[in-house]
Amino acid sequence: NAGVTQTPKFRILKIGQSMTLQCTQDMNHNYMYWYRQDPGMGLKLIYYSVGAGITDKGEVPNGYNVSRSTTEDFPLRLELAAPSQTSVYFCASTRSGSLYNEQFFGPGTRLTVL
Amino acid sequence: GENVEQHPSTLSVQEGDSAVIKCTYSDSASNYFPWYKQELGKGPQLIIDIRSNVGEKKDQRIAVTLNKTAKHFSLHITETQPEDSAVYFCAASSGNTPLVFGKGTRLSVIA
């Protein structure tokens, strides 16, 4: 199993550009999450999904959109990128049944908005 | 909502010494407290967790303690080794809501 994979690893965007961060998991997990990690600020939840077709906002959803059309994929869309969105983005997944279960994280995408 | 405070933000210890990282939480409904380790350039990885029906849990050199009355929990690493150097995150959840993470502690083990 590859676990949780994220693409791209690095990206530089200009202000106002758009992009999609890709996340795929091959563990048949129903729960998936998107976090951003700013230096010294820990992990902030952007959006999460408890199954295909179901998404919910986290703590910092503004400026982002998500979709969940399949169990495996959970892409994060940035529209009109802003410097405040410069961060490292992590996708994670958990097997279904409970939010108590271990979260498996991808390797992250480092995004810079200039 | 839940708020998790983590201290210290950085910690340096000599190899072989113990390290302790402390977290406090605000929501008395929280009952699940995991700890994640993040090595440089990687995503966080679960190292140990505890639920509110126990006060302490050990796994080899790491242990976690929980004081529900005071709303704090701690990670203890004994006999530290250079490979323990990483950023450690605590988190809390009620099980019905997603995890809320602390801001992290950068642990450096000096050989």
Q: Where residue B97 falls among pLDDT bands split at 50, 70, 90? A: confident
Residue in the block written with tokens 């179901």:
A54
* Residue B29 contacts A, CB cutoff 8 Å: no
CB contact under 8 A, B44 and A43: yes
What's the rounded mean pLDDT across residues B25-53?
94
Rounded to the nearest 5 degrees, what angle is found at the Cα of B11, between the Cα atoms of B35 and B89? Answer: 20
pLDDT value of residue A40: 79
When CB atoms are compared, the residue of B93, B101, B103 closest to A40 is: B103
Largest distance between two CA atoms of chain B: 42
Q: Which token pair is B70?
A: 């005071």
Instruction: Calculate mean pLDDT across residues B39-56.
Output: 92
Would you say the C-alpha torsion A69, B42, B105, B49 has a positive or negative sign?
positive
Contact A99 B96 (CB under 8 A): yes
Using the Cβ of A2 and the Cβ atoms of chain B, whether some distance falls under 8 Å is answered with no
Q: Residue ranges of chain A with pLDDT lower than 50?
A: none
Amino acid at B22: K
Whether the CB of A105 is below 8 Å from some CB of chain B: the reply is yes
The phi, psi pair for B84, rounded to 5°, reads -80, -10
Max distance between CA atoms of chain A, in angstroms, equals 41
Nearby residues of A19 by Cβ (< 8 Å), 6 or more positions away: A11, A13, A77, A78, A81, A111
B1 exposure class (CB count in 10 Å sphere: 0-12, 13-18, 19+)? exposed
